[in-house]
Amino acid sequence: MNFVMRRSYLGPVEAVILDWAGTTVDYGCLAPAAVFVEVFEQHDIHLTLSQARGPMGMFKKDHICTLLQLESVASQWQTVHDRLWTEADVEQLYQEFIPLQLNVITQYADPIPGVVETIGVLRARGLKIGSTTGYTRALMDLLAPAAQARGYAPDTIICADEVPAARPYPWMCYRNQIELNVYPGEVCVKIGDTVPDIEEGLNAGMWTIGVVQCGNEIGLSESEIAQLPAAELDARLKAGHKHLRYAGAHYTIDSLAEMPPLIDAINERLARGERP
């Protein structure tokens, strides 16, 4: 026999898997970026905010390791410490990062405008709401209750330190599928504001949506966004959309408020037998 049968899922989306900082809370993904700069500054290593944002979305220890691999950072480290950095240095920087992040994380728990309303729309349509994060469980034990008090609480929260490897690996997405009891991957839509978010969703076999204006791609607070000249904002938005689409996002949006119509578009594609 020269042919085999292939099953195709033709039903609708059943769940969305959301990132946290820069996607659902913390407009501009501000909480982690400033802390990375501060941690390195304590070791006389000067990071720009742009450099600090580069690996955003990764598990924070992996983020630190990636920063140390930057040529400018590695050369600074060798000059200041008269040696190359080591895994022990990664661990030390990570241990210094955690308490600093713990001290400020609840200050960035406000849901991004439109998030609470959008989640209400999705729940009314019967969708389950999962989440993944580059934060640890200790950080989320502070952030999640603060966000819930402000109106946002997903059904599941899977943290970077609760899986064998965090983004871009798909394990946090798989854990969400197990806890939400949804399968196959194409019934889920992974949404986030960084390249590792998109890669995580693609690696899990999910549809992916990149969030641009309120996230790491722009990296500004809502008030800072409002002060940008229209032409500059437009240029930065176009670059951000292009970057996340190049990473493989099936769709890109400025904020979560624009997402519900895309669920309809994905449902139409699923009904035609399409897969991510």
Cite the active site residues. 19, 60
Query: What's the helix, strand, coil split of the chain in %, to 5?
Result: 55, 10, 35
Q: Rounded to whole angstroms, how far apart are CA atoms 189 and 175?
A: 14
Hey, what amino acid is at 127?
L
- Of 233, 190, 163, the closest CA to residue 17 belongs to 190
Structure tokens at 92: 């030390």
Q: Rounded to whole angstroms, how far apart are CA atoms 259 and 256?
A: 5
Please give the helix or strand (H or E) that residue 17 lies within, else none.
Answer: strand 15-18
- Of 208, 129, 138, the closest CA to residue 167 belongs to 208
Structure tokens at 190: 């992974």
- Of 71, 87, 36, 43, the closest CA to residue 57 belongs to 36
Instruction: Give the chain's end-to-end CA distance (angstroms, integer).
Output: 29
Name residue 159's beta-bridge partners.
133
Residues 249 and 208 sit within 8 Å (Cβ to Cβ): yes
Q: Rounded to whole angstroms, how far apart are CA atoms 19 and 168?
A: 13
